[in-house]
Structure 1
């Protein structure tokens, strides 16, 4: 998905968040259980963009129906080089309803898990604040 790729490359997390469905499911490369919801997914993405250094997309693949996309990337976490892929599924409304991230090698995934684990309290606070903001906007 070109819009997602361009927003990530520009580090425009507001634009990334705008592309997410409210009930998006985010599957992490380092946690078994997926995370559900726009607020949590956006909070995770806001932190991971800070953790990844020298991040760049190398190529983009699209499924035949235009709803499935794979964005292959490289990055670094500390001294660990990472190769990975963002798998996106776009719902009928044009918003991303599923985002699965995979990374290799194992040592890179472990470095990512440690770095993100250290930030999880901040992620949870951001997600809660984002959810409260969206809830307040719906009650107006």
Structure 2
């Protein structure tokens, strides 16, 4: 099984999604309220990977179930640095996923792009949940 880092770096979002716990909580760098659930988290990941240009992880720190994956990318030509803070559950799935980014101008660009996509992100999450309930996929 791929690690989350390997899955994201290879853009294998199915493998990344397989590493998410059903009850994951996603904490965005641009929205106050956390997003609960695998479907919305996976939909956000699938869209943000399209928004980021030249995305790559540059460092990884681990302490038991806690992992910090530091990344660099571009948004609208602006350099952005961020960190994915992951907390694994007993099954080895990601139960808590918090993202922080800097600098502010690049974070604002990220917020604008993701905000413009959010209706589609929600629709994608609802579709994934419906497929999951029907036993398909």
Name the TM-score class by shorter chain: over 0.9
Task: Name 1:41's counterpart in structure 2.
Answer: 41
Give runs of aligned pairs for residues 1-140 of structure 1, distance below 5 A: 3-63=3-63, 66-137=64-135
Q: Deviations over 1:44-66 (max 9, x none)?
A: 00000000001010010001xx2
User: How far did residue 16 of structure 1 move?
Assistant: 0.5
Give me the whole-angstrom Cα distance separating, in 1, the residues matched to 2:122 and 2:8. 21
TM-score, normalization by structure 2: 0.96
Give me the whole-angstrom Cα distance separating, in 1, the residues matched to 2:14 and 2:81. 25
User: How far did residue 80 of structure 1 move?
Assistant: 1.2
Give me the whole-angstrom Cα distance separating, in 1, the residues matched to 2:11 and 2:120. 19
Q: Deviations over 1:22-75 (max 9, x none)?
A: 010000000000000000000000000000001010010001xx2000000000
Give me the whole-angstrom Cα distance separating, in 2, the residues matched to 1:5 and 1:37. 20
Give me the whole-angstrom Cα distance separating, in 2, the residues matched to 1:98 and 1:104. 20
Structure 1 runs (4+) greater than 6 angstroms displaced: none
Give me the whole-angstrom Cα distance separating, in 2, the residues matched to 1:21 and 1:134. 14
Unaligned runs of 5+ in 2: none
Q: Deviations over 1:3-32 (max 9, x none)?
A: 000000000110010000001000000000
Unaligned runs of 5+ in 1: none
User: How far did residue 134 of structure 1 move?
Assistant: 1.2
Give me the whole-angstrom Cα distance separating, in 2, the residues matched to 1:74 and 1:82. 6
